[in-house]
Amino acid sequence: METKKILKKQDKLRRKLQEKQKKLEKEEKKPVKVEDSDSDSEPEVEQVRDKKERRLSAVSDKQSEKDNIKIDANEEEKEVDDKADKYFSSLEFKDLPLSEQTLKAVDMLGFKKATEIQARSIPHVLNGRDVLGAAKTGSGKTLAFMIPAVEMLHKAQFTQKKGTGVLIIAPTRELAMQNYKWARDTLQYHNKTHGVVIGGAKRSSEANMLKKGVNLLVATPGRLLDHLQNTQGFVFHNLSMLIIDEADAILKIGFEEEMNQIIKLLPKERVTCLFSATMTKKVEDLCRLSLKNPVLIEVSKDSSTSTVSNLEQGYVVIDPAKKFQLLFTFLKKNLKKKVMVFMSSCNAVKFYSDLLNYVDIPVKDIHGKQKQQKRTSTYFEFCQAETGILLCTDVAQRGLDFPSVDWIIQYDPPDDPEDYIHRVGRTARGADGKGRALLFLLEHEIGFLRYLRLSKIKPNEYEFPENKLATIQDQFMKLIERNYYLNCSAKDGYRSFLQAYASHKQREIFDVNQLDLQKLAQSFGLAAPPRVNLNVKVQGRTVRKNKLKEQLGKRAKPEFRRDNKSSDSRQFSY
């Protein structure tokens, strides 16, 4: 019953997206400029050019002067056409050796031409070659592996009795559900069975489905390994194609052990494809284990930037005590827009979600501590919404296609440039997509810009005048003091933020000892910082625990420096 409800929501979403796409084609395309926005869109923003040179001197190269190009209306139209030409290749899907059913499904989805990653990878996969594909997020990687997967099932005349012929592995439940939606849409004119198995869903129902036979299966690693080892009647010895989506994310979150076991259990005679927006050494190690003489396709290799050209991105240096004021002001001015706000911990997302809903700023939230049914329903609700605010952790950063997101706000900084790319990749998707991204940084975190620019990410610096911020801090702190539930939630959010900060990958920049905890506590509405134990606890398999211990090392227990600006003496407990 739960799966039927989800599929009905997907059908409604697809119809809405098709209607919205027709409307967007009629709209006049205009350049995005933060300075020219009206009072209903966002607070006044001033781009910093000659000011604060001492900050920019800490960063290796200076690019902000190059981003102030004005174009007239005729040049603007040419630029839009150029963007579409760069996004799509000259190859049309009808020129590929595809079945009538697949071509009809692709046409129903509204696609005529293939994107660059699709044009370069689909022919190789159709010819039975293993593929290692890398392209910018939002470049069409999903159809690049879904179309040849469906064609393989069609040409092999796979029946339900043959079991699973195609297996697609995704790092998160939400991405697995999204891949399943694309699989279902691409298979709509084929007589093939399909299904999805993910953690948090009812295992017995999944086992019964697998026993009946599922030709195309989408799964997350943990639940898949469980079924491979323990579900009798699950026929997978006829597997012809293995697809690993967002391979670097699967390995990054600690699924190396599961992936190694899965690959050992699967038939060796198969076609294997790995797709991701970024490539890492661990992905190369997985390639050596799972791929045979693969074709390497890197669409973004020759590009001057790591993000799409129709994304306007910037950062703001903010005092920690005014951090929530800026977020509140921004969201208040953007209630008619579609906004995603990324935070570093589940408890922080929960606290700010409860707080904003309490003060009549309606928001939704997605984080790893929610039950799967709640996460799935929130995901589809935000997909269908034309406007709205979603607070989330990085569980929502990988591969998810939220339609028409206007703003990506990184309230807490990402772990590395790769995570930055995936976060901002939730907006400005597709040939006509456009969007904006804003990164919040504290004074001592400016060195992170050097890592971004080394990765060909060049955000502009913005300034939010303090006199434009909502004067809510006193009311905010009184509310947290008087409301017992919000007070407890604020303390949990504060503690989880510090624990996440202490385990940051770039600890030479994001040093917990440099935080002014008194001001940080004010951003959670607390008059004084609560005691925090920085012994980070990790749930999950032993390999993930050992990985985090090795990553943190001795710095998991930092010593409090007496030269810290904060006046609070109860900074840390051990």
Q: Which domains does the chain have, with CATH numbers?
A: 88-298 (3.40.50.300), 311-524 (3.40.50.300)
**Strands 407-410 and 435-441: what pairing?**
parallel
Query: Which residues are CB-neighbours of 101 under 8 A, at least 6 positions away?
Result: 154, 189, 190
- Residue with the larger pLDDT of the pair 561 and 429: 429
Work out the average pLDDT over 517-543.
78
pLDDT given at position 39: 41
Q: Max alpha carbon distance in the chain (Å)? A: 72
Res 559 pLDDT > 50: no
User: Given this model, what pLDDT does residue 235 score?
Assistant: 96
Residue 75 has pLDDT above 60, yes or no: no
Return the higher-pLDDT residue of 62 and 250.
250
Q: For residues 220 and 169, is the Cβ–Cβ distance under 8 A?
A: yes
Write down the pLDDT at residue 219: 97
| pLDDT confidence of residue 50 | 41
**Which residues make Cβ contacts (< 8 Å) with residue 233, sequence separation at least 6?**
210, 211
Which range (41-55, 182-196, 257-271, 479-493) has the least confidence?
41-55
Mean pLDDT of the chain: 81
* 141/137 Cα distance (integer angstroms): 8
Helix and strand numbers (H, E) in the chain are 21, 17
How high is the pLDDT of residue 2? Answer: 55
Share of the chain above pLDDT 90, in %: 55
Of 91, 149, 110, the residue nearest 18 (C-alpha): 110
Given a cut of 60, is residue 70 above it in pLDDT? no
Using 50, 70 and 90 to split pLDDT, how confident is the model at 20? low
* Beta pairing class for 88-92 and 113-115: antiparallel
Greater confidence (160 vs 300) lies with: 160
The mean pLDDT value for 217-244 works out to: 96
Closest of 185, 124, 127, 113 to residue 155, by C-alpha: 127
Q: Say how far apart CA 454 and CA 294 lie, in whole Å.
A: 28
Instruction: Render pLDDT for 160-170 as a digit per residue (tens, 0 to 9).
Output: 999 999 999 99
pLDDT of residue 435: 92
**Choice between 62 and 223, residue whose per-residue pLDDT is larger:** 223
401, pLDDT greater than 90: no
Token pair for 424: 């901002």
Secondary structure class of 368 (helix, strand, coil): coil
Radius of gyration for the chain, computed over Cα atoms and rounded to the nearest angstrom: 24
pLDDT at 555 over 70: no
Mean pLDDT of 517-529: 95
Q: Residue 450 CA to chain centroid, in angstroms?
A: 22
Helices (H), 213-279: 221-230, 247-252, 256-265
Higher per-residue pLDDT: 199 or 31: 199
Question: Cα(266)–Cα(163) distance, rounded to whole angstroms?
Answer: 13
Report the residue count for the chain.
574
Judged by average pLDDT, the poorest of 228-232, 377-381, 516-520, 554-558 is: 554-558
Residue 301: per-residue pLDDT: 52
pLDDT at 41: 43
Closest CA to 245 of 339, 136, 310, 169: 169
User: Which pair of tokens denotes residue 151?
Assistant: 């064609």
pLDDT tens sequence across 99-139: 999 999 999 999 999 998 999 999 999 999 999 988 766 77
Mean pLDDT of 216-236: 96
pLDDT score for 539: 45
Write out the two tokens for 44.
Answer: 């006044």
Q: What is the Cα 15 distance to its own chain's centre?
A: 24
Q: Which two tokens stand for residue 199?
A: 């953690």
* Model pLDDT, residue 251: 82
Under a CB-based contact definition with an 8 Å cutoff, are residues 194 and 165 in contact? no
Q: Residue 108: helix, strand or coil by DSSP? A: helix
Report yes or no: 522 and 477 within 8 Å, Cβ to Cβ. Answer: yes
Name the residue with higher pLDDT: 403 or 67: 403
List Cα–Cα distances, 355 to 369, 501, 529, in angstroms.
18, 22, 18
Distance of CA 550 to the CA centre of its chain: 26
Query: DSSP assignment of 181-226, as one string?
Result: HHHHHHTTTS---EEEE-TTS-HHHHHHHHHH--SEEEE-HHHHHH
Q: CA–CA distance from 306 to each of 91, 239, 309, 438 (Å)?
A: 24, 35, 9, 16
pLDDT, mean of residues 228-244: 96
Rounded Cα distance between 416 and 344, Å, is 13
Tell me the two tokens of residue 91: 């190859």
CB 198 within 8 A of CB 174: no
Is the pLDDT at 23 greater than 60? The verdict is no
* More confident site: 177 or 1: 177
pLDDT at 141 over 70: yes
Whether 194 shows a pLDDT value over 90: the answer reads: yes
Is 92 in contact with 113 (CB distance < 8 Å)?
Answer: yes
CA 113, CA 120: separation in Å to the nearest integer? 12
Cα(439)–Cα(174) distance, integer angstroms: 24
pLDDT of 473 > 90? The answer is yes
pLDDT level of residue 42 (50, 70, 90 thresholds): very low
**Residue 338 reports pLDDT greater than 90:** yes
* pLDDT of amino acid 85: 55
Least confident of 25-34, 149-158, 166-175: 25-34
**Residue 194 backbone zone (phi > 0: left; psi -120 to 50: alpha; other: beta):** beta
**pLDDT category, 360, cuts 50, 70, 90?**
very high
3-state DSSP helix/strand/coil percent for the chain, to nearest 5? Answer: 45, 15, 40
Predicted confidence band of residue 261 (pLDDT cuts 50, 70, 90): very high
Name beta bridge partners: 296: 132
Helix axes of 173-186 and 141-155: crossing angle, nearest 10 degrees: 50
Whole-number pLDDT of residue 15: 67
* Residue 167 to residue 174: CA distance in whole angstroms: 17
pLDDT higher than 70, residue 79? no
CB of 273 within 8 A of CB of 145? yes
Q: Which residue has the higher pLDDT, 283 or 2?
A: 283
* Residue range 211-226: mean pLDDT, rounded: 96
CA atoms within 13 Å, Cβ hemisphere of 116: 21
Say whether pLDDT at 461 is over 50: yes
Reported as a single tens digit per residue, the pLDDT across 493-507 is 999 999 999 999 888
Q: Which of 500, 244, 250 is nearest to 367 (CA)?
A: 500
The proportion of the chain whose per-residue pLDDT surpasses 70, expressed as a percent, equals 75
Whether residue 456 has pLDDT greater than 60: yes
Q: Roughly how many angstroms between the first and final C-alpha of the chain, as a whole number?
A: 48
Closest of 520, 483, 482 to residue 499, by C-alpha: 520
- pLDDT beyond 60 at 48: no
